[in-house]
Structure 1
Amino acid sequence: MTKHLDRDMEQLHRDILSLSAIVEEMIANAGRSLCEGRLDLAEKVILDDEFVDQHEVTIEEECLKMLALHHPVATDLRRIATVIKVNNDLERIADLAVNVAQRAIGVGDYPRFVIPDEVGPMVGKVTAMVRNALDAFVNMDTIAAKQVILGDDEVDRLNAELIAWLRRVMQTDSQLVVAALHCFSAIRHLERIADLATNIAEDAIYLVDGEIVRHRSVTIKNAR
């Protein structure tokens, strides 16, 4: 039984890595479509979402089958439970990337509107948070996971600055209100992706320590 469980766990590991790679690419492409006006990338993000949806269902079904067949305990049980949660978060991140791409298409109808310079760094920070959270999960690295959680403050700061800038644009030029609202929504979607990356990092800590850290302050000195 243990041999079969190990084999299935290895396949599950490969499947979640494959899904995470697609989702990371979707975030990056959605960000580029917004910052660079690359509507071709926006369309690719929207098309990729179907792949993510299909694989999210497949991974969940595999997890449930493993629970039923192998009755895992301890670390194996925590890993399968964590994969189920991470899998769901990745699907939600993909949906948010689609939302960003759709807003980028909306912004494209207003060539006079200039995307703020700070959007690029925000996209980069959010993408890195997702990547680092997934690495922390795969490598069972609680220190890296806690660094991801602490990094969410920077995204929140950028989010607040960009929203303030967009409000000023809407107050000074009524013809750019719709474009600014599209950008506003895209930024909020990026901020939500960062929140989900934080969720994945928290799940990585749970996987290693069996400790639920949601709604609690996290410090690096307490890692491991």
Structure 2
Amino acid sequence: MTTRHLFDEALEDLNQKIYQLGELVRSQIDIAIKSLVNQDLELANQVITGDLQVNELQAKIEEQCTLLMATQQPFAKDLRKIVANFKISINLERIGDHAVDIAKQSLRIGSQELMKPLIDLPRMAELVREMVAQGLEACKNENVEEAMAMAAKDDMVDHLYNQIFRELLVLMIEKPSTINQATYLLFAGRFLERMGDYCTNISEETIYVVTGKRSDLN
């Protein structure tokens, strides 16, 4: 087996780990938003404990990237792939952290009656989950157009967050007793908005792998 073949196998294994991390994070987002909408504290705690698995896998990816750079001394596109995978893993881990942050808002609200039906927050969460999946697919296929299409969805995430912000602000002014819960919901929206930003970072890494140039899609 040639050195190149071994290196390609190592890269494929790295890609598989990145995909696995992405699926873990997508699951964390789904569970976190369900815990908030359904006021399910058990699900909220599941997200918090599940973050350990996300962190452990990201650490393995980081170690593997470092080992490949140290032992294989890659250059040009191969080096860009390793650097991009490393940075993508960091962005995915941060998205996972924000899923935990949303779960913590669920715990803070507890069994208190929700001030309004939660509609836009689940929409934001589903958009982010789509962005993670699309971003990793674009990275796998080295598809710049798909990466840019994914990043463009961040505008929709931002729009929903601004809509939530305005709506909750009006409710807080009209009914000050809702301020605490509204603040928790605003934080949840902000965490989802930040997830969207991290997704655009994933697209930027795909463009970097293909073109060798850095882009700012935020």
Q: Under TM normalisation by the shorter chain, which class is it?
A: over 0.9
Percent identity over the alignment? 31
Amino acid at match of 2:167: W
Q: RMSD of the alignment, in Å?
A: 1.4
Q: Which residue does the alignment assign to 1:68?
A: 70
Q: Which residue does the alignment assign to 1:143?
A: 145
Q: Name stretches of at least 5 consecutive residues in structure 1 with no aligned partner.
A: 217-224
Which 4+ runs in 1 deviate beyond 3 A? none
Q: Per-residue deviation at 1:13?
A: 1.4
Q: For 2:12 and 2:119, how far apart are their aligned partners in 1? A: 42
Q: For 1:178 and 1:115, how far apart are their aligned partners in 2? A: 16
When the two structures are superposed, what TM-score results if normalisation uses the length of structure 1? Answer: 0.92
Alignment of 1:28 onto 2:21: no
Q: Per-residue deviation at 1:137?
A: 1.0
C-alpha deviations, 1:112-158, integer Å up to 9, x for none? 42243222211111211121111111121111110111111111111
Q: Which residue does the alignment assign to 1:153?
A: 155
Q: For 1:67 and 1:131, how far apart are their aligned partners in 2? A: 27
C-alpha deviations, 1:132-188, integer Å up to 9, x for none? 111111121111110111111111111111001111111122222111100000000
The answer as to whether partners of 2:84 and 2:205 remain within 8 angstroms in 1 is: yes
Q: For 1:121 and 1:112, how far apart are their aligned partners in 2? A: 17
Alignment of 1:17 onto 2:30: no
Q: Which residue does the alignment assign to 2:93?
A: 91
Amino acid at match of 2:125: V
* Bigger mean CA deviation after superposition, 167-176 or 84-93: 167-176
The answer as to whether partners of 1:107 and 1:113 remain within 8 angstroms in 2 is: no
Q: Per-residue deviation at 1:9?
A: 1.1
Q: For 2:168 and 2:106, how far apart are their aligned partners in 1? A: 15
The answer as to whether partners of 2:22 and 2:92 remain within 8 angstroms in 1 is: yes
When the two structures are superposed, what TM-score results if normalisation uses the length of structure 2? Answer: 0.94
Q: Name stretches of at least 5 consecutive residues in structure 2 with no aligned partner.
A: none
Tell me how many residue pairs correspond in the alignment: 216
Label 1:112 to 1:3 Cα distance change in 2 as closer, same or farther (>3 A). Answer: closer
Q: For 1:151 and 1:7, how far apart are their aligned partners in 2? A: 33
